[in-house]
Every structure is written in structure tokens, then in C-alpha cells.
């Protein structure tokens, strides 16, 4: 069994560098659910009521939850490589219609509100994800439609007649209000009004899509919204009967062989991440057997396609230590259980218990909080953070009372406010950087400084030593090796915050494991380099055409399919220096842009050969791209008889970036060549404005970044030259 036991060694997860790239709407605030219950919080709905002014000609009809009304969405979804139509329905709708029988065109439709927390589809996993990650319905439980004009009502009223209508009005979803026109039919009788109207909206316009979970699910931007409304006739002055408690339909669980077969696989391979406090618990909790049974189909799906457990290397990759992927037998066991109905032969409330501890924390010799105190982001008067995504650097001092430097055997980032801390990158900065740090820290009143991608320090000698994202184990160096921090040097930690609705004070700390005197005796410094290679992904011909048309028709439109315009934008966003980076990468690898900017369909590919920089035994390999990343490959001595693939990631996932520890001892010298190849798929992210993608720090920029760390021969001075 491929157990998580292996993770405790932790060498695997030296995440050498985890750089940037998050688009707010698909940023899964991974820890949010720790603080919020699993199920819908707001179960009812209510809407403004209308009143009858003229008994003779007016009749009041009321839409109330569960009277047969529904609101549904339908969107084309690509789930695990298969196209299907995802449909979700909420029956929790309210609204009033005031019909004027003498002149139908005077009919008034009041506010129609729908509880979007109650959207129910054929996948409880989809419902959960939609509720919490996209609609954020715990914060915005209602969508509403305020009709401003009605077209198509015939002037002559007859009971039971069906009219073709269209309703134009303001649709509010989450925080966006926009005009939409729904069309369909309506039938009016003395007892009830029935209507069905629909329209196609763009999910991007309301910041609720397109949904993109790398390797798992993508949706189209266009979503069909349908209101199937039944409004029952009510007496004048009738109180709204709307705020009914409604439960989501229970998922029926049948019987099935669970305890002897599936439970051990889950407890061994999944539960440690998916129980309270674990990194996957916010998305899916496996606290009890019931939790697993209600999403049995989804468990089969995510394990069959290798989405879970999250292990990216595949294809031609060599064997790595601590491979926590499932064996074929384990996958088959789960599939067989699901094919049999995915039921339980234990009580549903049977606790699932992790049989292995995923991550063993470091026993701290030093706990170093941010030197200048907890960081609380800037907020407006109501306390709402001014920014969603923010990158902040802070100093963490390394105590060194003897003044002779510190050998580290390991280190760990310990997040404080887990609901907002998205990931972190840890750097070492020399004493000489202190004046620069003082200067840039003074740019605003808050502790630390704004930094993006890297540490933003220009003093030479700043380099990254690790990083953290939910689920990643602490860094631990192998026997005989360590990392030396000279006296006076400090740690600079860059935290990527994803703020939601409150400005929380964050006091995340760096925990250090110092080498004992015994360990320090004969210790060798670990060595490593990062390799920065081009990222050039032009627009597709279709995108070029869209951008050209906008350029021709929209005043001051900047055509970002033109590379120079993107470089200008980078200058404005960052600085002059940032504009040289893309060209510098090309220069480094030889040739011209034309050698790198090929596009095959929506896929771009850059390949670059470089000399290896550090001799020794390869310890870890890492590849890094942003969210357009599609696949990655690192090959030692390509096109020679000794060619050896060091890392192959056929299906990239920004969420899971690890440094992988090779099982085989592979020696590398400075005479060796390494080929770094990155593929990007423009279709992975929705770009409202098409743009040429090139190397930089932003969410819409890309990187092809690689790192190799080595164990030098004992006593060889190791050079650690990862870029900071």
C-alpha cells in the first residue's frame, strides 16, 4: 500500500520555490471551511411583498419555496476529460406578482429571490464546491431578479391562456448586478400563474466562473439560467409565507462492503489530509463513513484519474521517494465498491481514523514570529480588506547568541490565520540587506513591505530556501547535510494572503530545527541552483482576431496580443527591470523569440538546454509554472545515449508543487546538460482580454522555472544559488 507514512520523512516536500499566480475567482480559500459548517447555512428565502390597490382589477400571486417553483442553472462541464451538462436546481424561491386583469401590461412583478445555497445537482461534491468556492453563498446566499419591463403580455386577458413573454431586469448574483432579459411563456388562471423563462448569462460577468479546477473540472463561461415559477393566488394583505426552513435532499446510502476493503484504503491514504485541521478537510471532510459514502462516485472519479491523492509525476518520471499515489489494486477496490452502490456495512457515524500521520511537525529549537509584529492588511471603513490578493514580505530574525552562525537541519512555516494564508516562500537575506529592508519597510505604515513573486530585495545574496502551501510537509535535510545561516543573516518570508471579508492580524511564524553539536561535526551544506528558462505563449489566431477587432472599435483599446504592449504593461505594473526579464531568458538559452513562441492549438511550448551548475548527487528536482501550466519535463543529457528523464509531469497542477526526491542516486557534474521544457495551455484559464503571455510574476504571466538541489561530496563547499 502506498502509505502516507512515507511523508513523515519530509524530504520530499522541500518546496524549493513556490511562486505566484492566482486568479481570485478560482483561488480556493483552502482553509475557509474549517471555520464554516459543511452544509448550507441559510435555508429559507424571503422577498418583498406587493399589495393590492384596486380589488376590481388586481390579483396578487405569490411564489413561495417548495410550491413547485424552481430556479436552475445548466452549464457545459468537462469533468475528468468527459463533457457533460451540469444542472443544479434550487426550489427555495420567493416573489410576488400583481396581475392587472383590465390591462395586463400594468402587471407588476416584484423582486424574485432565490436561495443559491440550496442549489442541488447530481454531485454533492459539485454543490459544495459551487457553494463555497464560486458563489461564496455563505456570504451571498441569495440571487435576485428585479424586473424593470415585461414584453409580450396580450392586452386582452383570458384565464388559462399562454403568452410568450420576455422579462428584462436587473440580475444580482454575488456582488454584481447586471441587466438580463429572460424569455419564455406564462399561463395565468384564477388560482395560479405558471411561467418558465430562461436566459444565458456569462458566469465571468458575475465573478462566479468559469470554474477551473486543474486536472479535474472546467466549465464553459455561458450558463443557462431558468426560472420555472408557480405563483399561487393569495388574498390581499396576505403575509409572506416565505421564510420556510428547507433541507437539502438527503443522499440515500445503501449497503456495501466498506469496512474490510475501502475503509483501510481511505484511512491509509486519504484521511490524514481530510480530517479536521488537515489540508483537504476544508474541501471534503472524511470524518465519518457517511462522509465518504455520500460522495462515493466522486471518490471513484478522483482516484481513477489520479487527481487524489495529489501526486503529479507520471509518464517517464523516474521513481521518487514517498510516492503516495494509490496502487492499481487500491483504485480497483474503490471502483468495485462504487460499482456495487458505494454503500456501508458499518454505522454511518463510524469514525474514520488516519492510520498514518501525514506530516510530522518540526520540534522547534527556535520559533521566530514576524520581527515587526503581526500583519493586518489595510481595510476600508467597514473593515473590508482593500485587496483580495496580497503578497507581503516580513523579517524573521534568527537568534544566534554565540555569533558563529546557525546550521539548520530543517525549518517549517507555521500559518497563523489559516483562512487567509495561501502560501509562503522563505528566503535567507544577508546582514547587508538591512538598510534596504529599512528603506522599503518605510513605504507604508504596516509591518514589512509589499513584495511580489520574489523578495523584491536587490541586495545580492538573497536566496529562497523553501516554501509552504497547505498540505506540504516541513523541510528536513538528510543525514550529514544542512543549511548554514551566517551570523547576522535573517529570514525573509513572503506570504501570499487571500483576504476574504475581514482584515485579520496574522502572526505566522518560522520554526527552525538547529543542528546539534554532534550533527554539526562534519556537516556539509546542501547545494542547489534554479534554472530560469523562457515562457512565450502568443495569442491564438482567434484571439488575435478578437483583439484586433476591439482595437479597431474601442477607443484607447490596448491590444495585448502584441508582445510589446504586454511588456509596456509590465513596466507600469512593476518596474523597468521587470521588462528585461523575458528577453534575458531568451538570451540565456540562445536564439530569438521565434525559436520559442510556437503555438499548437492552444498549447505553447518552450525548451531550453543549460549546463548543470552544482556537482553532486541529485537530491531533489522541481518544476514551476503558473496556472496556464499544462505539462513539464526535465531531462538530463538529452539526445545522448545517457539521456535520463529527471521529472515528467504530464498534467500540471499549480496547487501541488513539490520538490521530488529521486530514489536512484544520480550523479551530476558541471559538464552535464539539462533540458527544461514547459508546456502551457491557454485554455486552462479564462482571459477576458486576450493577451500574449510571457515571463513575469503576475497571475496572467507565466514562468518556466526549475530547480535542482544536490548533495555535494562531503566537505565540498556547497553553493546555494536559488534565486531570491
From 298-306, 390-398, 451-459, 620-628, give the range in contact with ligand HEC by CB under 6 A.
298-306
From 12-20, 169-177, 306-314, 506-514, give the range in contact with ligand HEC by CB under 6 A.
306-314
Cell of 204: 465571468
CB of 292 to ligand HEC, least distance (A): 8
Nearer to ligand HEC, 30 or 631 (CB): 30
Q: Is 310 in the site for ligand HEC (CB under 6 A)?
A: yes
Nearer to ligand HEC, 35 or 382 (CB): 35
CB of 480 to ligand HEC, least distance (A): 28
Cell of 269: 491514504
What letters, b where the CB count within 10 A reaches 16 and e where it falls short, cover 572-594? eebeeebbebbeebbeebeeeee
CB of 302 to ligand HEC, least distance (A): 5
Distances 432 to 205, 378, 441, 460, 488 between C-alpha atoms, Å: 48, 30, 15, 9, 9
Q: Is 302 in the site for ligand HEC (CB under 6 A)?
A: yes
Q: Is 127 in the site for ligand HEC (CB under 6 A)?
A: no
Distances 326 to 3, 310, 333, 630, 664 between C-alpha atoms, Å: 8, 10, 11, 22, 21
Q: Is 560 in the site for ligand HEC (CB under 6 A)?
A: no
Q: Which of these, 371, 385, 375, 368, lies nearest to 505 by C-alpha position?
A: 375
Q: Please select the residue that binds ligand HEC; options are 60, 293, 308, 585, rule is CB under 6 A.
A: 308
Q: Please select the residue that binds ligand HEC; options are 10, 256, 309, 415, rule is CB under 6 A.
A: 309
What letters, b where the CB count within 10 A reaches 16 and e where it falls short, cover 298-310? bbbbbbbbbbbbb
Cell of 518: 554532534
Q: Which of these, 285, 294, 273, lies nearest to 37 by C-alpha position?
A: 285
User: Which 317-336 positions form the footprint of ligand HEC (CB under 6 A)?
Assistant: 324, 326
Q: Which of these, 411, 389, 412, 408, lies nearest to 400 by C-alpha position?
A: 408
Nearer to ligand HEC, 234 or 266 (CB): 266
Nearer to ligand HEC, 325 or 464 (CB): 325
User: Which 336-375 positions form the footprint of ligand HEC (CB under 6 A)?
Assistant: 358
Q: Which of these, 425, 433, 430, 472, lies nearest to 451 by C-alpha position?
A: 425
Q: Please select the residue that binds ligand HEC; options are 11, 91, 129, 605, rule is CB under 6 A.
A: 129
From 300-308, 398-406, 442-450, 555-563, give the range in contact with ligand HEC by CB under 6 A.
300-308
Nearer to ligand HEC, 214 or 535 (CB): 214
CB of 32 to ligand HEC, least distance (A): 11
From 102-110, 301-309, 382-390, 450-458, give the range in contact with ligand HEC by CB under 6 A.
301-309
Nearer to ligand HEC, 337 or 375 (CB): 337
Give how far the C-alpha of residue 54 lies from the chain's centroid of Cα atoms, to the nearest Å: 54
Neighbours of 260 (CB within 10 A): 10
Q: Is 216 in the site for ligand HEC (CB under 6 A)?
A: yes
User: Which 253-292 positions form the footprint of ligand HEC (CB under 6 A)?
Assistant: 269-270, 273-274, 279-280, 283-284
Q: Is the distance from CB of 264 to CB of 274 less than 8 angstroms?
A: no
The residues, any chain, with a CB within 8 Å of residue 262's CB and separated by 6 or more, are 292, 333, 334, 337
User: Which 468-487 positions form the footprint of ligand HEC (CB under 6 A)?
Assistant: 470-471
Q: Is 525 in the site for ligand HEC (CB under 6 A)?
A: no
From 307-315, 540-548, 586-594, 642-650, give the range in contact with ligand HEC by CB under 6 A.
307-315
Distances 382 to 378, 379, 386, 501, 619 between C-alpha atoms, Å: 11, 8, 10, 10, 50
What gap in Å lies between CA 364 and CA 517, rounded to an integer?
16
Nearer to ligand HEC, 7 or 504 (CB): 7
From 188-196, 308-316, 403-411, 439-447, give the range in contact with ligand HEC by CB under 6 A.
308-316
Q: Please select the residue that binds ligand HEC; options are 58, 136, 298, 681, rule is CB under 6 A.
A: 298
Task: Convert residues 156-175 into a mask of x (bound to ligand HEC by CB under 6 A) and - (unbound).
Answer: --------------------
Residue 458: Cβ-neighbour burial (10 angstroms; 0-12, 13-18, 19+)? exposed
CB of 21 to ligand HEC, least distance (A): 14
Task: Report the C-alpha dihedral over residues 165, 170, 172, 175, rounded to 10 degrees.
Answer: 160
From 53-61, 189-197, 233-241, 295-303, give the range in contact with ligand HEC by CB under 6 A.
295-303
What gap in Å lies between CA 43 and CA 94, rounded to an integer?
13
Q: Is the distance from CB of 344 to CB of 253 less than 8 angstroms?
A: yes
Cell of 314: 507520471
User: Which 631-660 positions form the footprint of ligand HEC (CB under 6 A)?
Assistant: 655
Q: Which of these, 223, 137, 220, 124, lies nearest to 180 by C-alpha position?
A: 223
Give how far the C-alpha of residue 696 lies from the chain's centroid of Cα atoms, to the nearest Å: 19
Q: Please select the residue that binds ligand HEC; options are 213, 253, 558, 610, rule is CB under 6 A.
A: 213
What gap in Å lies between CA 359 and CA 377, rounded to an integer?
30
CB of 690 to ligand HEC, least distance (A): 27
CB of 362 to ligand HEC, least distance (A): 18
CB of 581 to ligand HEC, least distance (A): 29
Question: Which positions lie near ligand HEC, rule CB under 6 A?
Answer: 4, 28, 125, 129, 213, 216, 269-270, 273-274, 279-280, 283-284, 295, 298-299, 302-303, 308-310, 324, 326, 358, 470-471, 655
Amino acid at each position: 500500500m502506498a502509505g502516507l507514512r512515507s511523508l513523515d520523512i519530509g524530504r520530499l516536500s522541500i518546496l524549493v520555490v513556490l511562486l505566484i499566480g492566482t486568479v481570485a475567482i478560482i483561488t480556493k480559500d483552502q482553509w475557509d471551511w474549517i471555520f464554516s459548517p459543511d452544509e448550507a447555512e441559510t435555508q429559507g428565502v424571503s422577498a418583498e411583498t406587493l399589495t393590492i390597490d384596486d380589488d376590481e382589477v388586481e390579483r396578487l400571486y405569490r411564489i413561495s419555496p417548495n410550491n413547485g417553483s424552481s430556479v436552475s442553472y445548466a452549464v457545459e462541464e468537462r469533468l475528468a476529460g468527459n463533457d457533460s451538462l451540469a444542472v443544479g436546481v434550487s426550489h427555495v424561491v420567493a416573489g410576488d406578482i400583481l396581475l392587472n386583469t383590465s390591462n395586463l401590461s400594468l402587471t407588476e412583478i416584484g423582486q424574485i429571490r432565490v436561495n443559491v445555497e440550496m442549489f442541488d445537482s447530481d454531485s454533492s461534491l459539485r454543490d459544495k464546491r459551487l457553494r463555497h468556492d464560486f458563489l461564496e453563498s455563505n456570504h451571498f446566499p441569495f440571487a435576485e431578479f428585479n424586473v424593470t419591463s415585461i414584453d409580450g403580455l396580450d392586452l386582452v386577458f383570458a384565464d388559462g391562456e399562454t403568452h410568450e413573454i420576455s422579462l428584462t431586469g436587473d440580475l444580482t448574483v454575488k456582488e454584481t448586478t447586471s441587466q438580463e432579459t429572460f424569455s419564455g411563456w406564462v399561463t395565468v388562471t384564477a388560482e395560479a400563474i405558471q411561467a418558465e423563462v430562461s436566459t444565458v448569462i456569462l458566469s465571468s460577468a458575475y465573478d462566479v466562473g468559469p470554474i477551473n479546477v486543474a486536472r479535474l473540472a472546467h466549465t464553459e463561461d455561458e450558463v443557462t439560467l431558468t426560472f420555472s415559477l408557480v405563483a399561487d393566488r393569495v388574498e390581499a394583505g396576505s403575509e409572506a409565507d416565505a421564510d420556510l426552513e428547507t433541507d437539502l435532499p438527503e443522499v440515500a446510502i445503501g449497503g456495501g462492503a466498506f469496512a474490510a476493503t475501502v475503509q483501510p484504503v481511505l484511512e491509509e491514504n486519504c484521511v490524514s489530509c481530510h480530517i479536521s485541521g488537515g489540508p483537504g478537510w476544508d474541501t471534503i471532510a472524511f470524518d465519518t463513513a457517511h462522509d465518504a459514502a455520500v460522495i462515493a462516485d466522486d471518490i471513484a472519479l478522483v482516484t481513477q484519474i489520479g487527481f487524489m491523492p495529489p501526486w503529479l509525476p507520471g509518464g517517464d518520471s523516474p521513481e521518487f521517494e514517498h510516492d503516495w499515489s494509490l496502487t492499481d489494486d487500491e483504485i480497483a477496490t474503490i471502483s468495485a465498491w462504487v460499482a456495487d452502490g458505494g454503500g456501508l456495512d458499518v454505522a454511518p457515524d463510524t469514525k474514520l481514523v488516519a492510520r498514518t500521520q501525514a506530516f510530522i511537525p518540526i520540534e522547534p529549537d527556535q520559533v521566530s514570529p514576524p520581527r515587526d509584529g503581526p500583519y493586518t492588511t489595510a481595510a476600508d471603513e467597514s473593515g473590508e480588506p482593500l485587496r483580495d490578493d496580497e503578497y507581503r514580505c516580513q523579517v524573521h530574525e534568527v537568534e544566534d547568541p554565540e555569533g558563529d552562525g546557525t546550521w539548520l537541519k530543517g525549518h517549517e512555516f507555521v500559518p497563523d490565520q489559516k483562512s487567509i494564508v495561501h502560501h509562503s516562500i522563505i528566503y535567507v537575506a544577508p546582514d547587508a540587506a538591512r538598510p534596504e529592508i529599512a528603506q522599503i519597510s518605510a513605504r507604508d505604515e504596516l509591518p514589512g513591505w509589499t513584495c511580489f513573486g520574489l523578495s523584491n530585495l536587490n541586495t545580492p545574496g538573497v536566496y529562497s530556501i523553501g516554501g509552504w502551501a497547505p498540505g506540504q510537509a516541513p523541510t528536513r535535510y538528510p543525514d550529514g547535510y544542512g543549511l548554514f545561516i551566517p551570523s547576522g543573516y535573517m529570514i525573509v518570508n513572503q506570504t501570499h494572503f487571500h483576504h476574504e471579508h475581514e482584515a485579520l492580524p496574522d502572526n505566522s511564524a518560522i520554526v527552525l530545527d538547529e543542528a546539534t553539536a554532534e550533527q554539526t561535526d562534519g556537516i556539509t551544506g546542501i547545494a542547489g541552483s534554479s534554472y530560469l528558462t523562457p515562457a512565450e505563449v502568443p495569442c491564438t489566431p482567434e484571439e488575435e482576431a478578437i483583439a484586433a477587432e476591439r482595437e479597431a472599435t474601442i477607443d484607447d483599446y490596448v491590444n495585448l496580443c502584441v508582445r510589446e504592449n504586454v511588456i509596456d504593461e509590465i513596466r507600469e505594473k512593476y518596474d523597468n527591470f521587470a521588462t528585461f526579464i523575458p528577453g534575458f531568458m531568451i538570451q540565456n538559452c540562445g536564439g530569438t523569440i521565434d525559436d520559442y513562441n510556437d503555438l499548437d492549438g492552444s498549447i505553447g511550448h518552450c525548451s531550453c538546454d543549460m549546463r548543470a551548475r552544482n556537482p553532486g548527487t541529485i537530491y531533489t528536482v522541481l518544476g514551476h509554472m503558473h496556472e496556464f501550466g499544462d505539462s513539464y519535463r526535465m531531462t538530463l543529457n538529452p539526445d545522448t545515449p545517457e539521456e535520463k528523464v529527471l521529472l515528467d509531469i504530464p498534467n500540471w497542477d499549480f496547487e501541488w508543487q513539490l520538490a521530488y526526491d529521486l530514489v536512484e542516486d544520480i550523479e551530476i557534474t558541471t559538464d552535464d546538460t539539462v533540458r527544461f521544457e514547459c508546456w502551457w495551455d491557454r485554455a486552462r484559464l479564462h482571459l477576458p482580454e486576450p493577451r500574449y503571455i510571457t515571463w513575469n510574476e503576475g497571475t496572467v504571466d507565466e514562468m518556466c522555472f526549475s530547480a535542482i538541489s544536490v548533495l555535494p561530496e562531503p566537505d565540498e563547499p556547497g553553493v546555494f544559488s536559488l534565486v531570491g
